[in-house]
Structure 1
Amino acid sequence: MSTDTFPDRPIDTRLKIAALWTATMLIFAYVDLFSLYRPDVRADLEAGKMFVFDVGQPFLFFTTLYVIIPALMIYLTLVMQRRVNRIVNVTLAAIYGLTILGGAAGEWNYYLLGSVVEVGLLAMVIRHAWTWPEAQPSR
């Protein structure tokens, strides 16, 4: 008889990937919020700029779209068919990882740390999606 009241159970791959997207989104949000404490970022925003981009409707639209996609992946990972899920997760995680690395070039240490963690989480998304077994272990 087991004395373990709450035995470890295998965690479904969908849940692992959805949790990784969730963690990535939280870091996205906090790193961007912390940027508002930087005088250089605030000055650029007051001048209507963000990096080399003009802050206007197109910039805000595409920035919102950039954030919506991984936010939707939290849910979509739970409901898409396994084959499509794997392709979409590997593709999007790779694309986002590259854009995060590109955006981190020359940034402050807090931003670099957040970016490294985000890329690590996305690498784990790719790993879990790539190695997703045909059938989940029985519980």
Structure 2
Amino acid sequence: MTIRTTTPNLLDNVPIPVQVKLAAAWTSFMFLYIYVDLFNFYKPGVVDGILNGLVWRFDISSTLLTIFLVSVSIPALMVALSMTLPAGVNRATNLVVASLLIPYSMFNAAGATWEWAAFYGLSIGLEVLLLAFILRSAWTWPRTPAVPAGPATTDLREDLRQ
């Protein structure tokens, strides 16, 4: 009787917990979200509008800036929540928040001209892809716990190999 043992390859992918995948996706989304807003300052007339007290067609006010702060805080909070909430609540929260952010992300194209279609198409497309990854990861979250690795399960695996 021979027992086959395999040595792990350094390039093998170790399983990544769903919480880590979600936190990484929310972090990527947050950086992309912020960079798109920063790059928007380079559009002609944007900075002049801000200096004149306008963002899009809205007067700059404490209410508007509070809304903007809440908007950019959502992905940042989701990074922490994805790592700390219990699995069931975590799954539901990610499904709800990601679903609500898809139309919100698409709103960025409102009023855009064809000249800026590539910029908005790419940025919104990448945001929606990240949100779709979040939705898929949360939706397919395993419902049963994995078999823990350790001495108790090692004996079980040895029996299977024989």
Kindly report which structure 2 residues correspond to 1:9-24, keeping only aligned pairs within 5 A, or say none. Answer: 9-24=14-29
**Which of 25, 31, 44 pairs up with 2:36?**
31
Whether 2:56 is the aligned partner of 1:51: answer yes
Secondary structure of residue in 1 paired with 2:38: helix
Task: Spell out, residue by residue over 1:79-136, the C-alpha distance to the aligned partner (whole angstroms, 9 max, x if none).
Answer: 1011111111111111111111122234322232111100110011011101101235
1:115 lines up with 2:120 in the alignment: no
Query: TM-score with structure 2 length normalisation?
Result: 0.79
Q: State the AA in 2 paired with 1:129.
A: A
Deviation at 1:40, TM superposition (A): 2.0
State how 1:1-139 maps to structure 2 within 5 Å.
Answer: 1-2=6-7, 4-107=9-112, 108=116, 109-135=118-144, 137=146
**In structure 2, distance between residues paired with 1:18 and 1:58:** 29
Overall identity of the aligned pairs, in %: 35
Contact 1:10–1:137 (8 Å) recurs in 2: no
Q: TM-score, normalised by structure 1?
A: 0.91
Matched length:
139
Unaligned runs of 5+ in 2: 1-5, 150-162
Contact 2:36–2:123 (CA under 8 A) maintained in structure 1: yes
**Residues 42-75 of structure 1, C-alpha deviations (whole Å, 9 max, x = no match):** 1221221111221111111110011111101001
Give the distance between the partners of 2:94 and 2:39, measured in 1 at CA.
28
Which consecutive residues of structure 1, in runs of 5 or more, have no partner in the other structure?
none
1:87, 1:125 → 2: CA distance?
A: 11
**Which one scores higher on RCO, CA 8 angstroms, separation ≥ 6?**
1
Q: Whose radius of gyration is greater, 1 or 2?
A: 2
Q: Secondary structure at the match of 1:9?
A: coil
Amino acid at match of 2:62: Q
Shift >6 Å, 4+ stretches: none
| C-alpha distance in structure 2 between counterparts of 1:87 and 1:71, whole Å | 17
SS of 1:39's partner is coil
